[in-house]
Amino acid sequence: MSMGFLVDQQSAIVWRGLMVMSAIQRLIRQVAWGPLDYLVVDMPPGTGDVQLSISQNIPVSGSVVVTTPQDLSLLDARRALTMFQQVDVPCLGLVENMSVFVCPCCGHQENIFGQDGGANLAREVGATVLVVEATAAAAAAVVMFVVAIVVLVAVVLLVVVLVGSHG
């Protein structure tokens, strides 16, 4: 299910406060999810209404923060980690995406976005680095693989909401 299904494809979703919480409540409580053990919620970057509303109003078991080695992305990731600490959502780990550019012609690798930013941030805040990946597709594949493993061992990944008791 995606918020994108609820609006015109060309429209921007410009929601704040109560509109965000209302939409989130509807997605969680009114969608016919069927029997679920876990619900993985992929949220936009930042520490705004979406993140705060979910973490304060829905039982969240843990979070995984995704960043790139760029300074701006690392600032957002640090804020997200801090916000989750403040609302008592444990951090299950950090994923660094786009860590290196691999030339499609010769295979040369270049750290055009910086190097070791995610590892340094994780060390500073006491988080675990789950994966460092070169491409967005590879990072997404690794995250989905980790999600599959996590479900098998009954641990929680990303922002995971236990729905069974609230369905």
Could you give the angle at which helices 117-125 and 71-86 cross, rounded to 10 degrees?
20
> Hey, what are 138's tokens?
């590879």
> Hey, what are 38's tokens?
């876990």
For the stretch 75-96, pLDDT in tens is 999 999 998 889 888 888 888 8
**Please, are residues 39 and 33 in contact by the beta-carbon 8 Å criterion?**
yes
For the stretch 11-51, pLDDT in tens is 777 777 777 778 778 877 888 878 877 777 777 777 777 78
**Please, are residues 144 and 80 in contact by the beta-carbon 8 Å criterion?**
no
What's the pLDDT at 124? Answer: 93
Number of residues that this document lists for the chain: 167
Residue 162 predicted with pLDDT over 50? no
What's the pLDDT at 1? Answer: 66
Give 155's strand partners.
none
Confidence of residue 55 (pLDDT cuts 50, 70, 90): confident
Helix (H) or strand (E) holding 54: helix 49-57
What's the pLDDT at 75? Answer: 92
Domain 36-161 CATH superfamily? P-loop containing nucleotide triphosphate hydrolases (3.40.50.300)
| Calpha distance 93→17 (Å, rounded) | 28
For the stretch 93-136, pLDDT in tens is 888 888 888 888 888 888 888 888 989 999 999 888 887 665 55
* Burial class of 32 by CB neighbour count within 10 A (0 to 12, 13 to 18, 19+): exposed
| Domain boundaries of the chain, sorted by first residue | 36-161
Closest CA to 97 of 124, 77, 83, 79: 77
